[in-house]
Each structure stands twice: as C-alpha cells, then as structure tokens.
Chains A and B, each alone.
Chain A
Amino acid sequence: MREELIISGRMNPNIDPVLHIWHWQIPLYLFLGGLAAGVLFFAALYTILGRGKELKGAVQYAPFVAPVALVLGLFALFLDLKHQLYFWRLYTTIKLQSPMSWGAWTLLAITPLSFIWAALNIRIIFPNWDWRFRWLKDFEAFCRKHIIKISWVILVLSVILGIYTGILFSAFNARPLWNTSILGPLFLTSGLSTGAAVIILFSKSHKERLLFSRIDLVLIIVEIFFIVHMFMGFLASTQVQIDAASLFLGGPFTAQFWIFVVFLGLLLPAVLEALELAKFKIPAVIPATLVLFGGIMFRFIIANAGQVSRWLY
C-alpha cells in the first residue's frame, strides 16, 4: 500500500492541526449583518415603491431590528479582533482589494442610516415623542423631505452589505470551500430571506405576511438553486475543491449541513410557506423562525467547514 505521512514541527495555536482562527464572532456577525441588510433592503424598496403606508411591518416595525443587529454584529466583530485598540486603523485607509476594508466602510455608512430610519419611526413606539433640540427637529424634517433619496442609498448599501458577507469568505483562495464566487450571491439571498422572515415576525397584517411569505419562498428556491450550483462547481473543479465539497457529501459536516441548513432551514419552511399560500392555516411564526435558524446555522457551518478545507502539500 502506498502511504504518505506528513509530520510537521509546527503547532501554532488556532492554526494547527486545523485552522480555527475565526470562532463564533464572525459567523454571528455575518448572520446579523445579512439580516440587517435584508430588513433595510425591503424597507427601502417599499418606500421607493410608495407602499410604506400599506406595508407597515416592512417599512416601520422591522427596521427597528436593523440598528440593533448591526450594533451587536459590530460588537462581535470587535470581539474577534486580537489587537483591539488598533481597530481605528480600519478607517485610516481604503484598500480596494480587501473585502474587509470596504465592508468596514460600508458598515460605517449604513449603521448611522439604520439609526436614522429607526428614529424616523420612533413615534410608533412613543406616540408623544419630541426631539429635545431644535437641530434634531430640523434634521428629521430634512430626512423626511429626502426620504426617497435616503432609501436609494440604503437600497444600494444593503445589497453591498449582503454580498460582502459572502465575499469576505470567497476572496480566500487558501480555503477551497470558500473560494467560489457564488458565495456572494448565496449569502445575499440568504440575508434577504432572513430579513423577510423578520418582517413576517413583526408584521401585524395578514396580507403583508402573505406577501413576504411569497417573497421568502422565491428567495429559498433561489438559495437551493445556488447551493446545488455550488456543489456542481466544486465537483467539476480541482482536487482541493472536490475535497472541500466532500466535507458535506459524506464528510464530518454532512449531517449538520443537510439536516439543519437544507432540511430545517430551507425545505421545511418552503413547504410551510407554500401551504400557507395555498390557504392552509400555518402560524407564520414557524417558517419565519426556521428560516432564521437555518440562516444562522448556514453561516456557522460554512465558517467552520471553510477553515477545515485546505490545500495539501
């Protein structure tokens, strides 16, 4: 029997025997960032389309989640840094070749906008809310006047944010599982899907929930399509990518990926949403929660499996 035995004298913490430099913080941030991107995307989209009064869940209630998710996500990102006191270095340069750099700049722009959006809707929670300072009142009036322009900016930034969560991974040639350009669109779709799920949870109107169930169903189908394509691409690629795919096709991540992500996170909510649209009585909270669960599992599994996948030499 032909054998190959590699013994390395290196045992760096978090690098050997398999890379595990990114723990829970990165996948959690990717989930929260994608979710915020999804929520803001729909809020901006329906404001531009002039359906804000009709779709209150999407345009007014759900966007309160976005600043919270972004702040928690940013905090998780901060916790991930090992040289934390130097984090401001991110904002002393723009490195176009580094997804993390333009991701950081996108966050710097979209986080305040998500706060502004929530502030504009504050009277839903506190009907008698009044800004204490004159300039805040003026600012509110200014934002309301230019709400369509702000919506366009948010729409574009949310798409960048959603894609960025995937491109952060796909830019790494060293980890064959991540090194596929479909990861950007896949994470964007998943982010939009989790955003739609949040809107379903926050919506008080049956009609609106049905609309977002329909949207979510389409997004889930697109996601499944992307996942199939991802595996087709891997299996038709080089040995390292075939090995990467086999992590999910018989390897150590098989059960968790197919059960938690594909079955519980995609297929089951898709069936439930389809039944709901076919006028069966399904509590909307069930598919929405499953979508959120699938979204978070998807990011954790891709983050962990990607660090296991590698070039062998």
Chain B
Amino acid sequence: MPAYHVAFGTPVLLSQQMASSSNESVGLNSEEAIVRRYMELQNELQNLFAKLQELESEKVEHNMVVSTLDPLEPSRKCYRLVGSVLVERTVKEVLPAVTANRDNLAQIVKTLSEQFEKKKKELGEFQTKYKIRYKNEKEVRRAQQESGEGQGPGVLVQ
C-alpha cells in the first residue's frame, strides 16, 4: 500500500540529454516540468487509492446490511434513520434501495479501480520514458564529486 512516499534520495533525471531526446511527443521541455508532472501523477494515484479504499469500505457496509436484511421476511419492520429521526419502514421497502445502492457502489469501485490501474501504468510509462529514478545519497555525492560542482540541474528538493 503506497500510502507514503518517504524517500531520502531525490528523484532526478539521469541526464538532460535523455530528457530532451524524448520530450517531443508530449511537449514537456524542461526537467522541472517533467518532474512536476511526475509528482502530479504520483499525487493523483495516491488520491485515487484513498478514494478507492473509502468506497470499498462503504461497499462492505452495504453488503453487511443487505446480508442481514435478506433472510428476514419482507414484512419485518426496519426503521431508517433520517437526520436524527427514525422512520418506520419495512424490509420490503428498504431492501431494494440498499441493493441498488450497493450495486451502484460496486460499479463505481470497478471503474475507479480500472482508472487506478491505468494511472499506475501511465506513471510507470512516464517513469521509464523519462528515466526517472530515485538517487540515493551515495550516488548524489559521487555525482557531485565527479562533476566537481554542487547539485546538478534537475535535482528536485522535496
């Protein structure tokens, strides 16, 4: 569950050349823009995941209610809380509504998880396309020593 992304290394592009050689199709022409887009995608993915989880638990709740009401005889009383008032209903009246709602939810969860998978793929493709990876501390230092200067371009400080 990628709820967090704690990384000490900073995401960097391997080199300016690689980035600029493959940016014609999308039109992202600065490293900054690419990294920003990458973070954006990551964020979207995380939000989608959170939403998905929320709906999933709601679906479970619906299932719970349906499976409880299902075996009861249709004329059984079943009060429904509206605001803070209990309204008298019967199982017969209530069950179809809950079932419909649950099916709706299931549908939404399905489309959302499809979206999630698509986003995940998009992120992965983006990552390979622009050769994004997380540099660790050692590599950063070595790169600094090699280039003989401070942090090179494209380093994103979190």
Q: Do A and B bind each other?
A: no
Chain B residues proximal to chain A, CB less than 8 Å: none
